[in-house]
Amino acid sequence: MRKFIGTVVIVIIIFFFAGCMLSMRGLMEQLHLEEPKIAENSILLLQLEGVILDGKDFLDDLDKYADEDEIKGILIQINSPGGVVGPSQEIYAEIKRVRDELKKPVVVSVSSLAASGAFYAAVAADKIVTNPGSLLGSIGVIMEFANLEKLYEWAKIKRYVIKTGAFKDSGSEYRDMRDDEKQVFQSMANEVLGQFKQAVASGRNIPLEQVSAIADGRVFTGERAISMHLADQIGTLNDAKKLIGQLAGVGEEPEIFTPPAKRGGYLAELLDQKTKIPGLEEPIRNLLHSRFWGQPLLLLPGALASMGDR
């Protein structure tokens, strides 16, 4: 037990000092950061990459620059397995706002992957350009739970709970789930799936029945996705640039504006290749994974396990 407590204390100290170092570095960089100038008739290029945890950086850039008069259209390059439901839906809604309210065209370029929540966001665009072997789709919802009851018994830990309703501790890791609780969570997942299917049907202008027939979590190659009207054309990022230039009326070789890079969050920094702390990478991944237990996710299975490798 003393060894375990000592290990926990060491990890906390490492996190504390690492956080201080990262915060100081971020502060120094912000002090030297100048706001970039936007050329006339520019296209805003945004990246939606990795697991969608909160979407804040993407949404901040979209909100900040899409309104600028110099920006005539938005190009979004996606390489993401999806993520948390709310942020994925918020990105979808903001892309629609740019199209509907600002009347500016939006084109998505799929790099290697636009699955689940990332595909949810992509269908809000005017056009989706994809490589023939890129993966798209994964229309579905997943919820993960863990039953650690036997582990607690082995560690001689007994958990107690005081609650105000039969479902207040539903999904808790210290006991098995009742059948009525499983029904509640299944109903929740089905509701989110319905929202997902409606967004795809509306965004891609295809019948809801056609979407329902493929809304079982499958991913499709870019070539297959086009034949199913889930994407518009085969092409690279350069092809997508030409397309957004045409739609925005600024020519096939538009000026591209890329927002200055932002530093990731605390955990994202610790998982970054340049700032990894030896021995903590795997525990951080496990911490992120357990954070989403019991939440409905628009996520390709296994994506959290590979976080930090991108």
Q: Which stretch of DSSP H or E encloses residue 130?
A: strand 127-130
Beta-bridged to residue 221, according to DSSP, are 135
Question: Hey, is 234 helix, strand or coil?
Answer: strand
Q: Which stretch of DSSP H or E encloses residue 135?
A: strand 135-137
> HSE on the CB side for 238, CA within 13 Å?
0
- Sign for the CA dihedral angle at 10, 16, 17, 18 comes to positive
CA dist list (Å): 73 to 31, 38, 40, 46, 100:
30, 13, 12, 11, 13
Find how far residue 240's CA is from the centre of its chain: 21
How many angstroms separate the CA atoms of 280 and 97, rounded? Answer: 40
Residue 167's CB: how many other CB atoms inside 10 A? 13
CB 146 within 8 A of CB 293: yes
Q: Which of 88, 116, 134, 138 is catalytic?
A: 116
Catalytic annotation present for 168: yes
Beta-bridged to residue 46, according to DSSP, are 76
Q: Which residues of 188-219 are buried (b: 16+ CB within 10 A; e: fewer)?
A: ebeebbeebbebbbebbeeeeebbeebbebeb
Q: Which of 56, 168, 227, 306 is catalytic?
A: 168
Catalytic annotation present for 116: yes
Residues assigned a catalytic role: 116, 168
